[in-house]
Structure 1
Amino acid sequence: MPTDTFVALQQLWDLAAGEPAALDRVTLTGADPILPTDFKIGTAASAVIAATGLAATEIWRLRTWRGQSVSVDLRAAVAAFRSERYLRAESQPDIHRRDPIFGFYQAGDGRWIQIHSNMPHHRDGALKLLGCEGTRESVEDAVAKWTAGDLENAFAAAGLPTGMVRSRAEWHAHPQGLAVAELPLLEIEKIGEAPPEPAGSGPRALSGVRVLDLTRVIAGPVGGRTLAAYGADVLLVSAPHLPNLPGLVIDTGLGKLSASLDLRQPAAAETLRGLVRETDVFCQSYRPGALARLGLAPEELAKLRPGIVCVTLSAFGHTGPWRERRGFETIIQSVSGMAHEHGFAVGADGPHHLPAQVVDHGTGYLAAFGALIALARRAREGGSYLVRVSLAQTGRWVDALGRVDGSRTQDLSLEAVQDLIADMDTPFGRLRHVKPAARLSETPAFWSRPTVPLGTHAAAWPA
């Protein structure tokens, strides 16, 4: 009888119209529960990571006519989904620090709300809207003067991320929850005509594939990091005015080049267009519509570079009343019922975050999976492609995987994953990081470049 993890992988592979026989080359070991939660985090992690590995081997088969096997152990997959927790950087002792006012607050109507304040401008905006000082006690007093629904709306009107904690049933009845329910987990759409392009050559599955990574925080950067692990040249493009979290930059920067371009400047935007003309995959997680206003919508990119694969990540998907709202993992957990259910399961006084950022990491691997499937289609059929994923769609998928009793399961400590950790010399000093979880029999996944500070490299492709 197929395991839960294999069934989840099969669903992903069917969604991408993959060849069913390819699944015979996959070995999955381990089972939930592996973390202290009823959500099947290990199942989600193992399935989606295996899907990326299998898709990478399909690219390899198109290049060489040779197949290879893929194996994923569930413990390794969960470690990969918690990579930022296990990261250790010699020069960054406080790498895991969160902002003091980040977290859940109880409003005056007794409902709970999540305030996301890890970015400085989000923190400053929250304090300004609430009219309070930057201490948890002050924020508690200010939030208590609002109803949770009114405060959620006020934050959204100000362009700030927050989310009222809802039950699963409330989210499924919410207009945005209903809109997300109408979307598939992953969308791959042909958006332009172009002749087929050979899958390429080289010693690794993605050797020679060029990826522009215009993403931040976790989900998008994990997607680029995954493609780098299979051999792609990934160029991360950031800008000095865009805030970042140092620990996440280090963790998700493995294998990438890093350049800086302020796209508000015409010369920088033109430099980016020059890069696009020579790229294979363009991955971005800007707020919906932001790049379109700069003339960088997927359809425009397909005209600029026929055959491009555009990958778009958003918080709530591209339909529904919240399609332009900002959001993060914790916001999705809050509004969708995950935090409410997990808090109840662990006996907390209120909502509680899951023990892994399963939505962020899951969305990142789905983005990489979609890009790989689109590259394979380009090689066979030609065309330019748009891949769409969102945090909300991933959250709904994780919810639909079902539950397992994790009440007696211990957390997966750093000591328990030491065999899954590798060392690397970087500009940040000696780095200890989680190794790629997918094991490919002929072209092993690894990062050939160390993570570097933002803007280290020129905005150009390597020779």
Structure 2
Amino acid sequence: MRETGQGEEARMDALAGLWRQAGLDARALDAVTLTGADPILPSGFKVGTAAQATIAASGLAAAEIHRRRGGPAQRVSVAMRDAAIEFRSEHYCAVNGQTRGDGWDSIAGLYPTGDGGFVRLHTNFPHHRAGVLKLLGCAGEREAVAAALMQWDAVAFETAAAEAGMAVSAARDFAAWDAHPQGQAVATLPPLVIERIGDAPPRPLPPLAERPLAGIRVLDLTRVIAGPVAGRTLAAHGADVLHVTAPHLPSLTALVIDTGRGKRCAALDLRDPDQKARMEGLARGADVFLQGYRPGALAGLGFGPEQLAAMNPGIVCVSLSAYGHRGPWAGRHGFDSLTQTATGINWAEARAAGEVKPRVLPCQVLDHGSGYLLALGAMAALMRRAEEGGSWLVRVCLAGTGHWMRGLGPQPDGMATPDIGEDQVHDRLEESRSGFGPLVAVKHAAVLERTPAHWALPSMPLGSHTAEWAS
């Protein structure tokens, strides 16, 4: 592995550790070039290293699949600045010359509570907003919400919200999270889990094609950022990615535009028997089934990992969760912002900045990092399926990605780093058409010298395509 810049050993260790976790041949690491150094964004964490390592690992996996299909060996390079910019891709996405905004609801965010603590509300989906307001018994205005929360203790409101199925977290520091049963459960999990869940004969990788993942079919049943980033990454390397959502499920259009590049998108309501049968047909023809619903939700509809393995022996199931599959919070709702708050990251950022209330990371590191880990796991499992056979389950959780980033160590004086301004990213943007209008969006940061990553299909509104595989 060739590297330039400061902190070479730490960046090498970060990438190599992920590569080993995926069970892949360490000799492939000699083909990677990493440039740049942390700090790249204002943070007390090595967010640039996290971005560079996860993107490089997914890019190298694509190059390795292409080599195993009979293609030539090739170098993979990732500049830390490019990786950090891609970790904020949703902020730079513009249609018709206008950015779409961050999609945050008017009452979402951080609030103090009566016990001197803080809670963070995620109310970007209408049902989450309505549920929080019902629980608080107040009007949907920030002032009313703030006053109502002063009548609660932080953990008590977090608990009540979780019992009501809402998306809320209390702010903890690292000591409190490490002592929490869920913090202890997350600490036992690696950032990437790949396990065999069924028997099946080896399924060779498709014959050599121009792109590493050409001929690989991916069912993408994810929303928001992490899961869709995984699907977008697989599409960048040539996979046939079919994004399936349901008409009754809420979505954030700005994120759909950014993460929909390279995908076809269909709509199926799995509560309808005929549409559920169509999903079963798609699953039987899929190589990868990518989902990010609350643990157990799809199993109730017949699409849990073991059910999929029985339906399609040899399938690779890729599962995203907020807090992991072990511990008392295994089934809890969560998003990047909430997980940062619950696991101590926001308090650590505040202390690094000398501030007195929790502070968010400079980008959605847990979401984006988890997305690239999901893509890495999917490709690693495809390679293992080709060699060993079997059906496979890949697991990644936001809290686990945060725990891994924390393990990279603090970034001394990181808060003094100038931020990357929007006027400084023009070289990382590309223009394309989309179903929403002329699109400007961030390029992929992993540079493969022989099979350049790109998105062959434009972003389209949800439900634009028929729920079937490309011919």
**Do both proteins adopt the same fold according to a TM-score greater than 0.5, normalized to the shorter chain?**
yes
TM-score (norm 2): 0.97
Name the CA distance, whole Å, in 1 between partners of 2:421 and 2:469: 39
Q: Give 2:258's aligned residue.
A: 251
Normalised to the residue count of structure 1, the TM-score between the two structures is: 0.98
Inter-partner Cα distance in structure 1 for 2:416 and 2:288 = 43
Alignment match, 1:7 = 13
Q: Which residue pairs with 1:419 in the alignment?
A: 427
State the Cα distance separating 1:67 from its structure 2 match.
1.3
Percent of residue pairs identical: 54
Does residue 328 in structure 1 map to residue 335 in structure 2? yes
1:25 equivalent in structure 2: 31
- After superposition, residues 17-416 of structure 1 pair within 5 angstroms as 17-90=23-96, 93-201=99-207, 202-404=209-411, 405-416=413-424
Q: Deviations over 1:53-103 (max 9, x none)?
A: 111111111111521110000011111110001111128654324211111
Q: Distance in 1 between matches of 2:365 and 2:78?
A: 17
Query: In the alignment, is the contact (CA less than 8 A) between 1:114 and 1:165 conserved in 2?
Result: yes
How many Å separate the matches in 1 of 2:28 and 2:205? 18
Is the CA contact (8 Å cut-off) linking 1:61 and 1:67 kept in structure 2? yes
- The one-letter amino acid of 1:422's match is E
Residue of structure 2 equivalent to 1:440: 448
Q: Deviations over 1:398-436 (max 9, x none)?
A: 111111121221111122111111001112111110001
Paired residue for 2:3? Answer: none
Q: Say whether the 8 Å CA contact 1:56–1:372 is kept in structure 2.
A: yes
Of residues 454, 459, 467, the one that matches 1:459 is 467
Conserved? CA contact 2:91–2:99, under 8 Å: no
Cα distance in 2 between the residues matched to 1:247 and 1:235: 19
Cα distance, 1:20 vs. partner?
1.4
Q: After superposition, give the CA deviation of every residue in 1:235-266 in whole Å (9 maximum; x if it has no partner).
A: 00001110011111111101000000001111
Contact 1:103–1:114 under 8 Å retained in 2: yes
Q: Secondary structure at the match of 1:101?
A: coil
Amino acid at match of 1:392: A
CA contact (8 A) 1:211 1:224 kept: yes
Q: Aligned residue pairs: how many?
A: 463
Distance of 1:295 and 1:37 partners within structure 2: 43
* 3-state secondary structure, aligned to 2:220: strand
Shift of 1:127: 0.8
User: Who is 2:438 aligned against?
Assistant: 430
Root-mean-square deviation (CA, aligned residues, Å) is 1.2
Cα shift readout 1:22-58 (whole Å, capped 9, x = no counterpart): 1100000011101111111100010011100111111
CA contact (8 A) 1:95 1:246 kept: no
Give the conservation status (yes or no) of the 8 Å contact 1:91–1:428. Answer: no
CA apart distance, 1:137: 0.6
Deviation at 1:321, TM superposition (A): 0.4
| C-alpha contact 1:48 1:365 (8 A) present in aligned 2 | yes
Query: Residues of 2 paired with 1:3 and 1:412: CA distance?
Result: 25
